[in-house]
Amino acid sequence: MLQNKAICRQVRAALDEDIGTGDLTASFVPAEKQLDAKVISREAIIVCGAPWFDESFRQLSSSVSVDWQVKDGQWVRAGQTLCVLSGEARSLLTGERTALNFLQMLSAVATRTRKFVEAVAGTDAQIVDTRKTLPGLRLAQKYAVRCGGGVNHRTGLYDGILIKENHIIAAGGIEAALHRAGKIAPPGVFIQIEVETQDELIQALSAGARMVLLDNFDLAGLRDAVAYNRQFSGAAAVLEASGNVTLDTVRAIAETGVNRISIGSLTKDIQAADLSMRFSGTV
């Protein structure tokens, strides 16, 4: 689970962005007014984002209570109630959009991830995310990927080494790049290298690569890469397919025998889940 301080920081930034010097509209509501509300999903989704939702109201008022009817990572049907809230009307009104923004976005990421995971069920391939995330929300989105059943790749540039084409050029070739990466990699940090052709794959494996990203290989190329990797004299490397993966193509990619399939659209191309917060008054 994401550290609480990161959630607090993300929510604080979102509230500051929305409220600024104050919520002008909510200010005309009597300070003593209490409201009840419930959040309903208008579509079938994987729920994700409860900690961010709760924190959005906690930072506004200690009087707001949130009673969750479901848990993060759970499928819900259209029309199902996700949670029930009660407390100061002003706080509920002011926090509504920020709280829903987090819940809608993260539920969308989790739901999209689950669809890809289900599409490759029965194969050995894992669905993996990338660094193509919304600025400032990477940790939240990677949590959502896990809720959807996916696997996190490196969090950032500091906890994993991915040698791409420009790194290879700058280092003087595949063998040189892998050698230099091996010398500077901290203990436990993986080293992955991206290749675009079978010849580059052979070079990488011959140079001792243990994790290889197969960039935009077609299905025949992926099958050949898997077959060659299995026949290689050393221990087989982890092979990851990447590039323009869709729900229509992911099953066939998984059936080539690759170990991982990385998909930038899990976190990059997001259509928010359709949620609604409905209010009712109390005395």
| Tokens read off for 129 | 């995310």
Distance of alpha carbon 200 from alpha carbon 69, whole angstroms? 52
Decide the pairing of beta strands 65-68 and 211-215.
Answer: unpaired
Residues serving a catalytic function are 97, 132, 164, 194, 215
- 153 neighbors 262 (Cβ within 8 angstroms): yes
| Tokens read off for 47 | 């729920």
